[in-house]
Amino acid sequence: MNTGLGTLGLPSKDLLLAALRGMPHSRHPMLEAASELAILHRHRLRTPPATTGEVDRQRSQLVLSIDRYVLFVTPVPHDDAPLHAESIGTLVDHLAWHCVDAHITHADDTGAHDEAVLLLNTLADDYDTLADKVTRGIRRLPITVRPDSHTRYGS
């Protein structure tokens, strides 16, 4: 799998986690989108539940942009490649939320923070495994649709 230092390929989980934490990163489309997703999740924490629609719309657009990027930089999967349950963009959005949850929501509670970090790292390992399989063409991803179509992501 590409380390994500160039403009092509999928970034490593370490670079992805660093981008989610707001660390400087190379101008990589997925890292930029991941960083924006984390910012939106932080913003969503301070937004009244009745007014999160715009934040969620922006998140959907970023998820779709990640999925489009993945489509362009990965090979067409083998015909017999199994279908994964969710797209890489959706997985990155989950990672962004869990990163915010671990490092902001539970920052003052050591036990909850440790549990949240463990979950975040497990999800990051899942991303790494999926990215490797997609890059090798041995795993298919669900087809994503336009976020404004009122249809959920998936096939």
Q: pLDDT tens digits, residue range 50-99?
A: 999 999 999 999 999 999 999 999 999 999 999 999 999 999 999 999 99
Summarize pLDDT for 56-70 with one digit per residue, the tens.
999 999 999 999 999
Tens digit of each residue's pLDDT (9 = 90 or more) over 110-150: 888 899 999 999 999 999 999 999 999 999 999 885 555 44
Average pLDDT over residues 1-27: 79
- For 90, half-sphere exposure in the C-beta direction (CA atoms, 13 angstrom radius) is 14
Closest CA to 124 of 9, 40, 34, 52: 34
